[in-house]
Amino acid sequence: ITGVDGAGVPAVLGLSVVDESVFALQEQDPGFLKLYFLLEKELLQPKYDLHGFSFPALLRTPEYEKGETPVSAAQDAAAQASLAGTTTGGGHSLAINTREEKLRVLRERKESIFRVVGRTLSPLLLLFPLGIAALVVWALRREEILGRSILLALAALAGLVLFLFLLPVPEWARGGGLDRLGYWLEQISYSTFGPGILAMWALSGFIAWIALGVRVVRRREAVPGTALLLLLLYCVTLVLLVFLDAQPPEWLLLTSLWTFLLVPAAFLLWAAGELWQRRSGVALGVFALVGLTLAVPLLGISGGRQEFSASAPVMLNGGVWDDMALDVEKNVEVEGMALEAAPPMEMPTSAAMGEQAAGEEGKAGAAATTPAEAPRLRQLFGETMAWLPELVTEPDGTLHLDLPLYDNITTWRLSALAHSQDGRLGATTTNLRVFQDFFVDFDLPYALTQHDEVSLPVAVYNYLEQPQSVRLKLEEEPWFELLDEAEKTLLIGASDVEVVYFRIRVTATQGRYRPTIWAYGEQLSDATTATHDLLIRPDGKEFEETWSGRLTEQTLRTVEIPEAIIPGAAQVTVKIYPGVVSQVVEGMDALLQMPYGCFEQTTSATYPNVLVLDYMKSTEQTTPEIQLKAEEYINLGYQRLTTFEVPGGGFSLFGDNPPDRMLTAYGLMEFTDMARVFPVDADFIARAARWLLAQQAADGSWENDQGLVHESTWSDLGDDRVPVTAYISWALVHAGYGDEGATQRGLAYVREHAHQVDDPYALALVANALVADAPQDAFTRQILDRLAELAQVEGDAVYWPIGSATMMGSQGETGSLETTALVAYALLKANAHPELANKALTYLIQAKDANGTWHSTQATILALKALLLSVTAGGEQSDAEVTVTVDGGRTRAVTVTPENYDVVQILTFDDITPGRHEIELAVVGEGALTAQVTANYYLPWQGLPPSTGREALDIDVVYDRTALQVEDLVGIKVTVTLNEPGTVEWALVDLGIPPGFTVLPQALEARIERDLALPVDYAGGRLKKFELTGRQVLVYLQDLQHGEPLTFEYQLRARFPVKAQVPASQAYDYYNPTTRAEEAPVWLEVQE
């Protein structure tokens, strides 16, 4: 590390070595360093989906060129995030949201107009070249020289090809004519003088076009004049289509590429005809037009490449900050071999570099070994080879570091960030290319199901200069059965890639496995495992039974496993919770695993981290691990949530108009709680509060929002303004606006109309609003007493059933959970009916599902708030040993101490047999421990009991065919029907992706675009968004109506031969997960 004077600078160095492919998902620029550490890799992006690419996509405008460059996009993102924490004198410190909304509207209008114009002009890409070719052929036939012109043109092409073969080229370009042509095109396009040569070529063609145009006008030659005019129109059309960023259909784009070749071919033919007629000057001019038609596209390629290259040093090489530079040549070493910063490094994977990966064997020689040596098995794979944030250099600024090299055949990006004691910063990036001339690799699906038959594709890469015979051997393992030969031989050419398939049938019930392939070549050999685990799932439907409760000295639970289960797929899981904090910590991770995308879901995924961090700070129990984890999630969530603010104030589910009052109140409560543990822009909170205050009616109430809550059920309350006013008043008091006149008018409205409320949920909202304002007031106590009378006793617990729906539409069990949590929170806050509050908490503990949540995001947040409030200011004290025994035999024990009170302890008992099993939990020591016992098992699909009646939801998934070839497309039609009266406001459709298939999302994108254009008051269902997770397609449906099936379609592409099941598909009400439907798997067979 050196300063501007070239002298060494001692510094703290952060070094990362990460697979370059990771940065294809998310770039990490040194200039973005501060924001990167703040926002990690998910700034303002809930999900990243790789939708694949096709050849036409490579010809279209990159996304960043449609609006802004990567640098300007990063600047806008940085500005938006930075403004969230900036105090300004105005009332709108986040004015960037308004700007973005206006830009979005203008962009959508522009794109809509451009799309129509582009689709109209696109067919001209075919018509103009055909017209030019037809005119030239007709003119030559009329002169009776067509045949001779074709022969002369072919002779000219043959001479060009021969000339290319005689020119010296690098060794890699000697494989054939296409290789040589590609080499010279690359030299012309990307060399230093290439763009200048092409520009001169194009200019010559343009001058020739003018001269020929003048000639044909003077001579009044209609046919050549028309051809020249069509060439002009063709060029103008191309420019317009590029400017409009037209997206023609794939077939049209591919066809237009072939018809484009007709243009230079036609003018070459014309030039040959002119030569036959001894008009060499005209022939030279026409031949210049051939150069014009070829030079312009090459200039476009060259210009794009030069633009990228010009920006690359800024983005990738880091530049110099504050006059300090890093020299990787001097300070990084891998297994004794110096890494040079420029040019990028290339290293063979040698055994010396892989000694640590090879374990104790430590074999010498190359990884791609000679036939006399057994190939070393490559099995150490990863995406991050090193992440060393706190390295300290020597006083002279140097650092020597030994790193074991992973077995990946890839390019690693080495990024170094330095910070000197006097505050100077520096950054640099270089590449380490790991390569060998011969290697093999798997291309596996993410998961398979028991009994699936799949042809495992093994790619064989031979970059040697000579062909070689290769013997491939798939290592047999117990989890699969081979359906063809374990060994196969192929002759692979020089610099060639081949794919060999090994057909297997999955016999394992479940688990994670990695197949192994051995490749023995005549010159070099290789061996490797798969780079990722292959997940095997049971061939059946999963069932689970869960019990949760408080632990006594001895607790007995019984689980019943049916006789018809799939053998080897049943297990019992026991979770021990030392206290409430461990429940919340588990909920933090569980909520992040739930599908999220809208404001409420994103808010609920962030809220648990706010709650637990607030609790731990207030009780002085913060641990560095939990604080770091919570602050990381809060940071990401806060930045995402700022994007849901609607221009003009308030929040909506997806950040578009109109804003929603109750969602805004929910966000106001969270941001207020967040501000106690994390820097939150005060103006951001104030804007939400001011917007809510401005929405108040003259009588002090707030109107019910249309579309978010269940309007039909809330209308039965008599006055649906009471719960809305109560909730908003509660949020305003919580945020510190309780003394505002508008807030007090709202509370007065609630008190005046509270007698009209009989529904427990609405009454719970009233109670929380009054408790927040005046917990000891006599009227408040009356409301709490009314709630106590509505409690329903269930064993040692109590709950409050819901008669309507919650603000997010939860009903039934989920709605009762939300109501019970709200009542428990109000009772605890007011210190009223403590015994009843304790029994309500018991109900919440018992109702926790196996995933660590309470079935929905909203119920989970309310339950966690109530549980945390129940913990005294002194914190939780646990010091005990819990022993778990199954059937009096297998025994395991866990110890709970004050040091691990925040950790959920999990015990798993596999290979549970059918029948009745006794689970005993014995506690020795002190602490308010709780536990959860979950039994999981699978039943075969064909053995499932028949349905007893019509389900509330139906899902029908139809494949247009089940037998197809590799690269064929299969169409899927999905129909979701609500059978019960009412509306499901947010339904989630989970569609399984079969192994060996790729999703083509174009139909889904088009459908969502169509539904977005529907009027705001449209009463039917619509597709709102979709996500691809690798295993499934998640589709969000809005306003699914009773008796009005919603249908949509999409396609899959078969990648390799397979006979496998499509994972089961299901649809469910997001806020009432018990309302769900499931479609049994379908078998698909793909042949070569």
Q: pLDDT per residue over 195-218, tens digit each?
A: 677 777 778 878 888 888 888 888
Q: Work out the average pLDDT over 426-454.
A: 90
SS (H, E, C) 171-220: HHHCCCHHHHHHHHHHHHHHCCCHHHHHHHHHHHHHHHHHHHHHHHHHHC
Q: pLDDT per residue over 789-811, tens digit each?
A: 999 999 889 999 987 888 877 88
Q: Helix, strand or coil for residue 940?
A: coil
**Residue 337 — very low, low, confident or very high, per pLDDT cuts 50/70/90?**
very low
pLDDT of residue 15: 92
Q: Work out the average pLDDT over 122-148.
A: 83
Q: pLDDT per residue over 499-528, tens digit each?
A: 999 999 999 999 999 999 999 999 999 999
**How far from the centroid of its chain's Cα atoms is residue 413's Cα?**
22
pLDDT of residue 336: 31
Closest CA to 453 of 500, 488, 503: 503
Q: Give kind and range of the element (H or E) at residue 843.
A: helix 834-846
E-strand stretches of 754-897: 792-794, 797-799, 879-886, 890-896
Cα separation, 1003 vs 1007, whole angstroms: 6
Cα separation, 367 vs 348, whole angstroms: 8
β-bridge partners, 1032: 992
The least confident of 116-125, 354-363, 856-865, 1038-1047 is 354-363
pLDDT of residue 247: 63
Domains assigned to the chain = 121-315 (no CATH), 438-537 (2.60.40.10), 541-577+878-939 (2.60.120.1540), 712-723+736-874 (1.50.10.20), 949-1087 (2.60.40.690)
Q: Which of the two residues, 1058 and 705, has the higher pLDDT score?
A: 1058
Write the single-letter amino acid at 974: V
Strands 480-482 and 953-959: unpaired
pLDDT greater than 50 at residue 443: yes
For the record, the structure tokens of 221 come out as 């030659």
**Residue 881 — very low, low, confident or very high, per pLDDT cuts 50/70/90?**
very high
Q: Which CA distances in Å does 890 have to 441, 572, 932? A: 42, 12, 18
Percent share of the chain, pLDDT over 70: 76
Q: Which CA distances in Å does 568 have to 506, 509, 537, 538, 925? A: 14, 7, 11, 9, 36
Q: Are 704 and 713 in contact (CB under 8 A)?
A: no
DSSP H helices, 562-720, are: 580-593, 599-618, 624-642, 661-674, 682-694, 711-714
Average pLDDT of the chain? 78
Q: Are 174 and 497 in contact (CB under 8 A)?
A: no
Q: Which of the two residues, 819 and 590, has the higher pLDDT score?
A: 819
Q: Are 270 and 286 in contact (CB under 8 A)?
A: yes
How many CA atoms lie within 13 Å of 470's alpha carbon, on the beta-carbon side? 35
**Residue 860 — very low, low, confident or very high, per pLDDT cuts 50/70/90?**
confident
Q: Helix, strand or coil for residue 517?
A: strand
pLDDT of residue 243: 66
pLDDT of residue 658: 81
pLDDT of residue 248: 66
pLDDT of residue 257: 74
Q: pLDDT per residue over 17-67, tens digit each?
A: 999 887 765 554 443 443 333 333 333 333 333 333 333 443 444 443 344
Q: pLDDT per residue over 276-325, tens digit each?
A: 888 888 888 887 887 777 776 665 544 444 333 333 333 333 333 333 44
Q: Helix, strand or coil for residue 320?
A: strand
Residue bearing tokens 């072939």:
258
Kindly provide the b/e burial profile for residues 976-1008, where b requires at least 16 CB atoms within 10 angstroms of the residue's own CB: bbbeeebbbbbbbbbbbbbbbbebbbeebeebb
Q: Work out the average pLDDT over 143-159.
A: 83
What totals of helices (H) and strands (E) does the chain contain, helices first?
Answer: 29, 43
The least confident of 395-399, 458-462, 465-469, 610-614 is 610-614
pLDDT of residue 963: 94
Q: pLDDT per residue over 57-97, tens digit each?
A: 434 444 433 444 444 444 444 444 444 433 333 333 333 34
Closest CA to 65 of 313, 303, 317: 303
Q: For residue 106, give the DSSP letter.
A: H
Q: Work out the average pLDDT over 257-270.
A: 81
Q: pLDDT per residue over 576-608, tens digit each?
A: 988 777 776 675 555 554 445 677 777 777 887
Q: Are 264 and 160 in contact (CB under 8 A)?
A: no
Residues with Cβ within 8 Å of residue 1058, at least 6 apart in sequence: 445, 452, 453, 454, 455, 994, 995, 996, 1084, 1085, 1086
How many CA atoms lie within 13 Å of 295's alpha carbon, on the beta-carbon side? 19
pLDDT of residue 181: 64
Residues 497, 498, 503, 509, Cα dihedral to 10°: 0
Burial zone of 309 (CB within 10 Å; 0-12 exposed, 13-18 middle, 19+ buried): exposed
pLDDT greater than 90 at residue 159: no
Q: Work out the average pLDDT over 412-428.
A: 88
Handedness of CA 733, 738, 741, 746 (dihedral sign): positive
pLDDT of residue 549: 87
